[in-house]
Structure 1
Amino acid sequence: MKHINSMLVLCLLVTFNFACKQNAETNNSTDLAVKTEVKKDPNGFSYEVINNDPTGLRLYTLENGLQVYLSKNTDEPKIQTYIAVRAGSNYDPSNSTGLAHYLEHMLFKGTDKIGTTDWEKEQEYIKQISDLYEAHRAETDEAKKLEIYKKIDEVSLEASNYSVANEYDKMVSGMGATGTNAHTWFEETVYKNKIPTNELNKWLSLESERFSKLVLRLFHTELEAVFEEFNRSQDNDGRKMYTAMLDGLFPNHPYGQQQTIGTAAHLKNPSLVDINNYFDKYYVPNNMAMVLVGDIDFEKTIKDVNDTFGKLKNKEVTHPTLPKEDPITSPVVKEVFGPTSERISIAYRSDGINSEDEKFVTLADMILANGEAGLMDLNLNQQQLVQRAGSSTMFLNDYGLQQLSGSPKEGQSLDEVKDLLFTQIDKLKKGEFDDWLIDAVVNDLKLSQTRQYENSTALASAYYNAFIHHQKWEDQVKFLDELKAISKEELVAFANRFYQENYVVVYKRKGEDSSIVKVENPGITPVNLNRDKSSQYLSDFQKIEAEALVPKFVDYKTAIKEKDLDSGVKVSYINNESNDLFNLNIIFDMGTDNDKKLSLAVGFLEYIGTETMSAEDIKKEFYKLGINYYVVSRDDVSYIGLSGLKENLPKGLALLEDLINNPKSDPEAYAKYVDKILKGRQDGKTQKSNILWNGLVNYGQYGENSRLRNIIKASELKAQDPQELVDIVKGIKDYKQRIFYYGKDVDQAVAALNKEHKLNTPLKEYPEATSYIEKETGGQVYFADYDMVQSEMVFLAKGGEFNAKNLAATSLFNAYFGSGLSSIVFQEIRESKSLAYSAFSRYSTASKKEDSNYVMAYIGTQANKMEQAVDAMMSLMSDMPEADKQFEAAKDAALKKIAAERITKANIFWEYEGLKKLGIENDNREEMYNTIQNMTISDLRDFFNENIKGENYNVMVVGNKKDIDFTALKKLGEVNEMDVDYLFNYETTDKVKL
């Protein structure tokens, strides 16, 4: 099943969404007569509601034009909040691209009240800095520009004497907020928090102040973070493909001509005047929306919103008229180069949101690729004619697009993949797809929508998207019914009009990228953080009392109920009170540690059928039923599972049992499967995140004896008898097992299991598991060469064995020290010194009681900052800075997060599964909560001294060999250049000492 997807995470505060499936914007009503009604609440506020709306939206519009989307979800005492502004990179001045994005960053820096100890003095310096940036921008002589920048750095240091870093984050984290973030895209900037219900009034007060005035405080250090982000983006081949595709589709429109991150030239020459003008123009209530989804009281909430945000002044907003694109009349060809594996994309331009194109392209996209029974799924992926292929859509205000993508098999050219993608388009144009597929696709979208609407964050996202794209929610409610009304003949006719020689093809080839533009380190004097100071606003804010939430803990033994099958196998179950979807898992407490062929065998099952049904027919039948099946094997556990519509559980289970009991070996499919595995290994070697977090980190933790390296070699794969794998699949049911069911009508599920899930008893014990010994860390640097602009480092130290009594201190330490915008590490390395775009540290607890904990730190930075960044991180890891106010804020945040957390639905079972592996039989959050309440900063210091200070680190580094300062690395230990094949045990190449 295909779900909403996103790509290109640009930074902590900005996300570049990619290829969003419009199934997120639909509903399961069957009544086309959907209507909007206007009602009035007891306080006199008017709001819109839509009949047959499963989300229960109330849409208010305040007198100043602010639109307020409210919906109730009482699963937990939390509210997902979004503040959305119709202001994105489309509206950047052509000489200030990237402006909307770094404005987004600056809204975390405070106002004339938040983040300052003396605004009267501070604003004088900020005015000087603004004037200096204007002079810097106008100056053409590079030497003089450098002198001006040095003056900016000097004045910025003086200004920092009056600023307090991250006060906004201190306040929201002190409320117990999670997910504090923001993103910028073409037509939007969206600010995010998930807050405890009882903190709503405080949040509204804070946010109304935040959006009342822009102060460009600590600008040059934040701009340096954006420089880092720009450099980081150039290491992302997917992002480069995306940019090239948009450039081809939109040669005139900002969609293709103005990247959200901006150009290097504009980033180097910002204008604070332009940023302030942009804020004043677009950040006004009649160009904004607030979305609140969660445990709310409608009448009280809208009154409180009006009392705060209703005071903001509106003004007329005029968005610029953007260029129109001429039709594409012949293929546009683009090439992108980089170190990752080759792939290709073909993109077609469509009309935008609210158009007829949106409906037809959405439907065509799902007919082509829905993850199960689409044309590309069955004809290309199932047949293993390519390494992988897919299709996705994106719809924006002015235009939309559909993108087909494909990766080649070993020895296959990109043009051969392109031709195969076109064959599926041709099948669509000829109507060569099953008549039932349109109805099945709409049902699939309904399933996705049902899952989305029970999640407050996903639903809130749908609301803000509707606002940004000027969509009436009424149209969203009836969107699926309009899709269902499209006939096969109409879709085929559309396909023949739409898919012409009007596409953009992007070839991603392996090779050096000559277009890289590096933004150099300008040299920044660390600014003052003033941790122990606070603004008057913060002091007053912290005095505001909110009614405390009472934490609720789970009694797992009563929350998880049990029944027995006729075979004696236990079925644990939890009732689904929300909808008619179910999830059924048959669980085996064995995995690839017990038999490394197990994963190979269950993966092969994807490509084979039974004596009576082909693999393609099985996929189709499951898709018709609205059921997903999966058979997966992990390190120490395996699952046979089903999920989907409860009413079809018996039929789905019968299909799955037939597949497990009667798989038919297919040597030809197995040969292709082996080729796919081996090509996947080669492709994985080109991904720097895989090299760092899998290859290097595993080696740093285990050395040569690791799960990662205990693989089935290529020669063994090729020599493997596929019938043995089929026998492994058939035999898995003979082992000890247990079952978890989440859904309604457990008796129906038990009856279906008794009928279909026949077992040979007594059940077998599991094979003995292979053990992997964690090695002692310290004194070793493992380096992998990779063609990249930045460098990335992980520090890893083996700690003590898991101890449940340390969980409270671990949680508090991580919040205070290593993660989040107001953590010690983030403030020191990014906020003060601008040494890294991304930096964090954490004390990582084991997932099993017999395993070790680890101390971990990460830095992603330019190679020429590496030595400084390492020194800064190691200094922090050696001597924990103590800030009483920051500690108290972290403590309050930890307590409030526990108080607002609710473990519900199927998560009750899965949380308990994790706890049992640690030897914990109860909800340990109660003990953590009570412990944290009594902790002092001296307790945290003791935890640091016992578990962090003085640890010996292995250091894993991935970067460009020609840029790395190996002299600096040798200070950390013996440097070993690691061959990537050796890391993953694909070959026996030895590591090389440097």
Structure 2
Amino acid sequence: MNKLKPLFLFLFATTFLFLGSCTQDKKPQESTKVVTEKHTDKAGFTYETVSNDPTGLRLYTLENGLKVYLSKNTDEPKIQTFVAVRAGSNYDPKEATGLAHYLEHMVFKGTSEIGTIDWGKEKEFLKQISDLYEAHKAENDPEKKKEIYRKIDEISLEASNYSVANEYDKMVQSLGATGTNAHTWFEETVYKNKIPANELNKWLKLESDRFGELTLRLFHTELEAVFEEFNRGQDNDFRKVYAAMLDGLFPQHPYGQQTTIGTAEHLKNPSMVAIHEYFDKYYVPSNMAVVLVGDLDFDTTIAEVNKTFGKLESKEVVHPELPKETPITSPIVKEVYGPTAENISITFRSGGVNTADEKFVTLCDMILTNGTAGLIDLNLNQKQLVQNAGSSPMFLNDYGFHNFSGTPKAGQSLDEVKELILAQIEKLKKGEFDQWMLEAVINDMKLSQTRQYENSSALASAYYNAFIHHEDWQDKVNFLEELRKISKKELVEFANNFYKDNYVVVYKRQGEDKNIVKVENPGITPVNLNRDKKSEYLANFTAKESPALAPQFIDYKKAIKTKNLTNGVEVSYVNNPNNDLFELNFIFDMGDKHNKDLGLAVNYSEYLGTDKYTAEELKKEFYKLGIEYKVGTGEDKTYVSISGLKENLPKGLTLLEHFWDNVTPDGEAYAKYVESIQKSRQDTKTNKGAILWSGLMNYGQYGENSPLRNIYSTEALQAKKPADLVNILKKLKNYKQRIFYYGKDVEAAITALNKEHKLPEQLQEYPEAKNYIELETGNKVYFVNYDMVQAEMLFLAKGDLFDADKMAASTLFNAYFGRGLSSIVFQEIRESKSLAYSAFSAYANASEKEKPNYIYAYIGTQANKMPQAVDAMLGLMNDMPEAEEQFNAAKEAALKKIAAQRITKSNIFWSYERLKKQGIENDNRKAIYEGIQEMELKDLHKFFNENIKGEEYTIMVIGNEKEINFKALEKLGTIEKLKVDYLFNFK
């Protein structure tokens, strides 16, 4: 089962994946010895493999020390690439925190060959800028510092005459790369691209060149972008909780004392010299790894890696000795304030990667929360004793930790939530869990790993994490077998020694955060982008031809086969060629639009049992089988599904049908469920993302009569009869339905369905769906007040009805104009003017026919920059800059992305479902590909003039009203200040 983790742990944790089976009937598997073996390929390169490794890893070490992780996955002609460096915020100088992260940004700016049109002249200006920053850092007088900064700004403008912005991004875009990005954390900086397989050699040349040399061009504009990122962190309460937790756990170690983003004071006083020194020290082959997973040939790939990255100069790297922590002997209490809902975090410090703690804490965590049958899952979430609770571990090089988090119900204190969570840990310490759980949770992990290892990005992530944490891949392959050796007695003994009063508790309370740092708008002069120019490197790069890669399109009617059950229901199916996992979906083409009670009933079912099983027992029965059961509903669809190992499909289906036919109402559970809904609504009101992208977005589209506002009041919910909702669930089978099966042995699935899925002779038609009318947009500004540093704006214009013939032009337009690091919008607003950390726009095609398309744009920026950012965005939306080279690169990228795309596995069915909603019966990528091939810049300009230029925008704004310039907003339309309760129709 997919374990639900607290958000910050989900973002940062790495899940290591292992293939295996999951069934309650199987005996524990005998341990197979796993060993590392050495080999030599035809070209003489030595590599390591691990026996019984389902991932097929080849691990090379080049002469200069560079580690190269290679694995083959031929599902699509793409390669997931990572360049990982053991260089993170742990190693930032204490007087220059945030350095590793800022360096990550600057590595995208090019070299003495990439991104310059006259390096001889440009480098002189860059030297002056570097010297000025050293003077700026040393100067204590505020006015003199400002004067030095004005000089930096002046010379930076001069330097920009000889630079070309985003040449690296243009080149990877021209390859057809996706997911171009990077991240920095405690012990790592990792650079990411997913590229078409035929472009590997060009990518290797480009990457090896940029990692061979650092050039700090366009420095002060990018620094302003980092400040915007700093502000986003100040507006993120969960990050503040995370930082407070780390500070308590690690009062000496950089884990707790040096944030990755850095302090405001250090960001204001950067040193280009120090950044160069950091790069020269850590960005060396013996401290780096290249990870490639995808459609590759081992022998030719390693030869090309050696030809490019093998040229980097070898240097010895010595990481600093970091402080050791003393034991925590009593609870450490922290408090964090902010506008979002209250919650509590309880965290125990552990040993790090490759320690016994890693194994025991991993197993303890799964016994406590596995998303289905853990102690916290069943005793707290299932019984609705809290709003929600969960746990998740994290293991780093020096230490790790086990975090527990909980959100209170209405009227419940944070201390009450804390005591309930600690009580579950006490149950673990007393051994109050079933013996079968040990085997079940390990099989559960294997099941999840089997699913995830099919994904080249997930596998590549596991490899780079192994590198960063100095892990032997042999140990990772054998990890679950090591867990199997742990007995219940040993686990209980560990829990009693580990979980004491040695935790850090963080109370996230609602209220004003008095630690917010105000950042001035420095008034940066926009730098020149030189879109019409290019370096000699770029010219040579684009001139080099790669092997051709032809697109492949699907004949859905052949790819999706059908059979019928004896009761006449159609079963669509696609064979699973990779493993023995299956998914079985019952699809009803009705949702909340058809019956307002349907979603209510579906979500209520989570807390119900049957005449044979309690709700908790039912969860355990599914978990024993390794079967995941889901019921979900949307606006126009309802799905009932099970998934797992195909050998357990019959038993899983029997259990599902038993639940479906015999589910029983529970009045107490329903009362708690209504309380939970009301608390969830209150929490939603504190979530700025939900306010902007759900509340304001829906209001901008529909006004008062939006699907979001069509909800029951608390009184109406309380008046509902649980038995009526249960009847809705039971009678769901009486409606028309379709079935989709993905897996092997469809005949066995059909046999099980014929036996278990009993239906009436005549199936009912769906009730009529409620229609929501989209309003015309323009000349309106909707504002919601929220305590935040940044301001966020969404521009929305209603376009023409969906037209499949516009999809080629809109795809190319989005690539050229509004999406990605090399787009017009990003370059103008962030790269040139430093007006926002995030800015994008798009022409969004409707998801179904007879519905309108939309043009939208987004800006997230400091409130004091908002008027300038708005002017910049609206200027672009009314006058699209023309750059022939950039257009050609966007066109080439769009074509290469389609050529490298393969629709496979269950996505064959689901992609066809999406197309049919739009009235399309074939693989329309063919028409899009051919349409883009024929387009010229003038065609794109015509599309812009007909569909974007001159549009009237409804503008949605969320920000702190004390900081917002309302006079500037008045120029955009009539301002209406809205209350969150009104947006969501909460009463």
Calculate the TM-score normalised by the size of structure 2: 0.99
Q: Return the alpha-carbon distance in structure 2 between the equivalents of residues 500 and 27 of structure 1.
A: 35
Deviation at 1:2, TM superposition (A): 3.5
Q: Which amino acid aligns with 2:13?
A: C
Task: Say yes or no: does 1:290 pair with 2:283.
Answer: no
Q: Return the alpha-carbon distance in structure 1 between the equivalents of residues 724 and 460 of structure 2.
A: 49
Deviation at 1:645, TM superposition (A): 1.1
1:20 counterpart residue number: 13
1:66 counterpart residue number: 66
1:918 counterpart residue number: 918
Deviation at 1:23, TM superposition (A): 4.7
Q: Return the alpha-carbon distance in structure 2 between the equivalents of residues 125 and 407 of structure 1.
A: 54
1:824 counterpart residue number: 824
SS in 2 for 1:107: helix
Q: Which amino acid aligns with 2:958?
A: V
SS in 2 for 1:108: helix
Task: Say yes or no: does 1:727 pair with 2:727.
Answer: yes
1:270 counterpart residue number: 270
SS in 2 for 1:708: coil
TM alignment of 1:740-779, pairs within 5 A = 740-779=740-779
Q: Which amino acid aligns with 1:563?
A: K
Task: Say yes or no: does 1:177 pair with 2:177.
Answer: yes
2:215 counterpart residue number: 215
1:117 counterpart residue number: 117
Deviation at 1:671, TM superposition (A): 0.2
Deviation at 1:484, TM superposition (A): 1.1
Q: Return the alpha-carbon distance in structure 2 between the equivalents of residues 929 and 685 of structure 1.
A: 43
Task: Say yes or no: does 1:234 pair with 2:262.
Answer: no
TM alignment of 1:860-879, pairs within 5 A = 860-879=860-879
Task: Judge conservation of contact 1:34–1:52 (CA < 8 Å) in 2.
Answer: yes
Q: Which amino acid aligns with 2:769?
A: A
Task: Judge conservation of contact 1:381–1:387 (CA < 8 Å) in 2.
Answer: yes
The number of residue pairs the alignment matches comes to 980
Deviation at 1:644, TM superposition (A): 1.0
1:12 counterpart residue number: none
Task: Judge conservation of contact 1:821–1:827 (CA < 8 Å) in 2.
Answer: yes
TM alignment of 1:441-590, pairs within 5 A = 441-590=441-590
1:195 counterpart residue number: 195
Q: Return the alpha-carbon distance in structure 1 between the equivalents of residues 326 and 646 of structure 2.
A: 49
Q: Return the alpha-carbon distance in structure 2 between the equivalents of residues 832 and 959 of structure 1.
A: 24
Deviation at 1:27, TM superposition (A): 6.9
Deviation at 1:519, TM superposition (A): 2.2
Q: Return the alpha-carbon distance in structure 1 between the equivalents of residues 628 and 896 of structure 2.
A: 37
Deviation at 1:542, TM superposition (A): 0.6
Deviation at 1:518, TM superposition (A): 2.2
Q: Which amino acid aligns with 1:556?
A: Y
Q: Which amino acid aligns with 1:507?
A: Y
Q: Return the alpha-carbon distance in structure 2 between the equivalents of residues 7 and 526 of structure 1.
A: 37
Deviation at 1:17, TM superposition (A): 6.7
Q: Return the alpha-carbon distance in structure 1 between the equivalents of residues 870 and 415 of structure 2.
A: 45
Q: Which amino acid aligns with 2:979?
A: D
SS in 2 for 1:912: helix
1:991 counterpart residue number: none
Q: Deviations over 1:353-386 (max 9, x none)?
A: 0000000000001100000000000000000000
Q: Return the alpha-carbon distance in structure 2 between the equivalents of residues 628 and 19 of structure 1.
A: 25
2:420 counterpart residue number: 420
Q: Return the alpha-carbon distance in structure 2 between the equivalents of residues 7 and 309 of structure 1.
A: 36
Q: Return the alpha-carbon distance in structure 2 between the equivalents of residues 628 and 58 of structure 1.
A: 33
Q: Return the alpha-carbon distance in structure 1 between the equivalents of residues 804 and 945 of structure 2.
A: 18
SS in 1 for 2:109: coil
Q: Which amino acid aligns with 1:577?
A: P
Task: Judge conservation of contact 1:26–1:478 (CA < 8 Å) in 2.
Answer: no
Q: Return the alpha-carbon distance in structure 2 between the equivalents of residues 26 and 612 of structure 1.
A: 34
TM alignment of 1:557-636, pairs within 5 A = 557-636=557-636
Task: Judge conservation of contact 2:5–2:390 (CA < 8 Å) in 1.
Answer: no
Task: Judge conservation of contact 2:17–2:450 (CA < 8 Å) in 1.
Answer: no
Distance 1:810 1:22, change over 3 A: closer
1:399 counterpart residue number: 399
1:707 counterpart residue number: 707
Q: Which amino acid aligns with 2:82?
A: Y
Task: Judge conservation of contact 2:14–2:462 (CA < 8 Å) in 1.
Answer: no
1:349 counterpart residue number: 349
Q: Which amino acid aligns with 1:657?
A: E
Task: Judge conservation of contact 1:285–1:313 (CA < 8 Å) in 2.
Answer: yes
Q: Deviations over 1:761-817 (max 9, x none)?
A: 210000010000000001110000000000000000000000000000000000000
Q: Which amino acid aligns with 2:842?
A: R
1:375 counterpart residue number: 375
2:281 counterpart residue number: 281
SS in 2 for 1:172: helix
Q: Deviations over 1:872-922 (max 9, x none)?
A: 000000010000000000000000000000000100000000000111000
Q: Deviations over 1:824-883 (max 9, x none)?
A: 000000000000110000000000011100000000001111100000000000010000
Task: Say yes or no: does 1:642 pair with 2:635.
Answer: no
Q: Return the alpha-carbon distance in structure 1 between the equivalents of residues 552 and 52 of structure 2.
A: 34
Q: Which amino acid aligns with 2:281?
A: K
Q: Deviations over 1:914-967 (max 9, x none)?
A: 000111000001111111111000000000000000101100000001001110
Q: Which amino acid aligns with 1:771?
A: N
Task: Judge conservation of contact 1:5–1:19 (CA < 8 Å) in 2.
Answer: no
Q: Which amino acid aligns with 1:624?
A: K
Q: Which amino acid aligns with 1:354?
A: N
Distance 1:461 1:164, change over 3 A: same
Task: Judge conservation of contact 1:164–1:529 (CA < 8 Å) in 2.
Answer: yes
SS in 2 for 1:796: strand
1:11 counterpart residue number: none
Deviation at 1:24, TM superposition (A): 3.9
Q: Which amino acid aligns with 1:823?
A: S
Q: Which amino acid aligns with 1:376?
A: I
Q: Return the alpha-carbon distance in structure 2 between the equivalents of residues 337 and 30 of structure 1.
A: 51
Task: Say yes or no: does 1:79 pair with 2:79.
Answer: yes
Q: Return the alpha-carbon distance in structure 2 between the equivalents of residues 169 and 320 of structure 1.
A: 33
Task: Judge conservation of contact 1:386–1:408 (CA < 8 Å) in 2.
Answer: yes
Q: Which amino acid aligns with 2:697?
A: V
Deviation at 1:7, TM superposition (A): 4.5
SS in 2 for 1:337: strand
Q: Which runs of 4+ in 1 moved over 3 A?
A: 2-8, 16-19, 21-32
Q: Which amino acid aligns with 1:960?
A: N
- 5+ residue gaps, structure 1, are 9-15, 988-994
Distance 1:183 1:207, change over 3 A: same
Identity of aligned residues (%): 69
SS in 1 for 2:872: helix
Deviation at 1:730, TM superposition (A): 0.3
Task: Judge conservation of contact 1:569–1:738 (CA < 8 Å) in 2.
Answer: yes
Q: Return the alpha-carbon distance in structure 1 between the equivalents of residues 939 and 12 of structure 2.
A: 48
Q: Return the alpha-carbon distance in structure 2 between the equivalents of residues 32 and 274 of structure 1.
A: 50
Distance 1:447 1:104, change over 3 A: same
Deviation at 1:26, TM superposition (A): 7.9
Deviation at 1:520, TM superposition (A): 1.8
Task: Judge conservation of contact 1:47–1:60 (CA < 8 Å) in 2.
Answer: yes
Task: Judge conservation of contact 1:782–1:956 (CA < 8 Å) in 2.
Answer: yes
Q: Return the alpha-carbon distance in structure 1 between the equivalents of residues 864 and 501 of structure 2.
A: 47
SS in 1 for 2:383: coil
1:143 counterpart residue number: 143
Task: Say yes or no: does 1:244 pair with 2:237.
Answer: no
- 5+ residue gaps, structure 2, are 22-28
Task: Judge conservation of contact 1:113–1:535 (CA < 8 Å) in 2.
Answer: yes
Task: Say yes or no: does 1:55 pair with 2:55.
Answer: yes
Deviation at 1:744, TM superposition (A): 0.5
Q: Return the alpha-carbon distance in structure 2 between the equivalents of residues 634 and 705 of structure 1.
A: 18
Deviation at 1:240, TM superposition (A): 0.2
Q: Which amino acid aligns with 1:972?
A: L
Task: Say yes or no: does 1:676 pair with 2:660.
Answer: no
Calculate the TM-score normalised by the size of structure 1: 0.98
Task: Say yes or no: does 1:951 pair with 2:951.
Answer: yes
Task: Judge conservation of contact 2:18–2:453 (CA < 8 Å) in 1.
Answer: no
Q: Which amino acid aligns with 2:667?
A: P
SS in 2 for 1:82: strand
Deviation at 1:500, TM superposition (A): 0.8
Task: Judge conservation of contact 1:4–1:22 (CA < 8 Å) in 2.
Answer: no
Deviation at 1:521, TM superposition (A): 1.6
Q: Which amino acid aligns with 1:132?
A: L
1:716 counterpart residue number: 716
Q: Return the alpha-carbon distance in structure 1 between the equivalents of residues 611 and 421 of structure 2.
A: 30
1:838 counterpart residue number: 838
Task: Judge conservation of contact 1:96–1:266 (CA < 8 Å) in 2.
Answer: yes
Deviation at 1:561, TM superposition (A): 0.3
2:26 counterpart residue number: none
Deviation at 1:25, TM superposition (A): 6.9
